[in-house]
Chain A
Amino acid sequence: IQLTQSPSSLSASVGDRVTISCRASQGVSDYLAWYQQKPGKVPKLLIYSASSLHSGVPSRFSASGSGTDFTFTISSLQPEDVATYYCQDYSNAPFTFGPGTTVDIK
């Protein structure tokens, strides 16, 4: 299964709503996760089961989708959200990551 993400990068203002798309080449049911990797840091799980917020993750992060089309949203972009965001299919091995979307502040 291949994952594509769009856009590959985006620049938005603080407070903006940001949306990232992840598309799978085959259905993955809801076995889709989203990770955040800040520059120079370790990836961090944000969302699992396509739409469930991981413990301790701020509520401005959300996601939706099922099957092949998924969306990740930051409702109000904050300076600390500058990072690369990856989707991941964990339905079956190989547990493929998408190519990433880099988000920065305009």
Chain B
Amino acid sequence: DVELVESGGGLVQPGGSLRLSCVASGFIFSRYSMNWIRQAPGKGLEWVAHISGPSTITYYSESLKGRFTVSRDNAKNSLYLQMNTLTVDDTAVYYCARDGGGHVPFDYWGLGTQVAVSA
């Protein structure tokens, strides 16, 4: 079965950094693009970043202003999100999701990891 497990969340001060991880299993990880999506408390879903299977293509939400970097290690079946210069507005649950490929979008999601930015 496909499984995505995020980790690395926690409490961080404004201006700080955090690195999120997502470990995948149950499918050939290198063949699929992956995404990060976040959800602030009581708010809707916000797409954050996308990375292709071989890491040749990355896309980011313009709202991030270049503070986040998505990467992956296919040998470790792992997806990462490096988050720098964090602000209180980055407080959210961060989900990783598999891009199903072809015409299928985000078909599998992890349970999410909570990031709280507060002084």
Contacts and interface: CB of A to CB of B under 8 A. Distances in A.
B62 interface: yes
A45 B101 CA distance: 13
A49 B103 contact: yes
A70 interface: no
Interface string A72-84: 0000000000001
Central interface residue in B61, B103, B105, B107, by most chain A CB within 10 Å: B105
A48 B110 CA distance: 19
Interface residues of B, number: 21
Interface of B: 35, 37, 44-47, 50, 59, 61-62, 95, 100, 103-107, 109-112
Given A42-B109, A95-B47, A100-B44, A48 B100 contact: yes
Contacts of B106: 33, 35, 43, 45, 88, 90
Contacts of B50: 93, 95
23 contacts: A30-B103, A31-B103, A35-B106, A42-B95, A42-B110, A42-B111, A42-B112, A43-B45, A45-B100, A45-B105, A48-B100, A48-B103, A48-B107, A88-B45, A90-B105, A93-B59, A94-B47, A94-B62, A95-B105, A97-B37, A97-B44, A97-B45, A100-B45
B107 A96 contact: no
Interface of A is mostly: loop
B105 A86 contact: no
A11 B109 CA distance: 28
Given A30-B103, A88-B106, A95-B50, 17 more contacts: A31-B103, A31-B105, A33-B105, A35-B106, A42-B112, A43-B45, A43-B95, A45-B100, A45-B105, A45-B107, A48-B105, A49-B104, A54-B107, A94-B61, A97-B44, A97-B47, A99-B44
Contacts of B37: 43, 97
A21 to B, nearest CB: 16
A93 B49 CA distance: 9
Contacts of B45: 35, 37, 43, 86, 88, 97, 100
Nearest to B44: A100
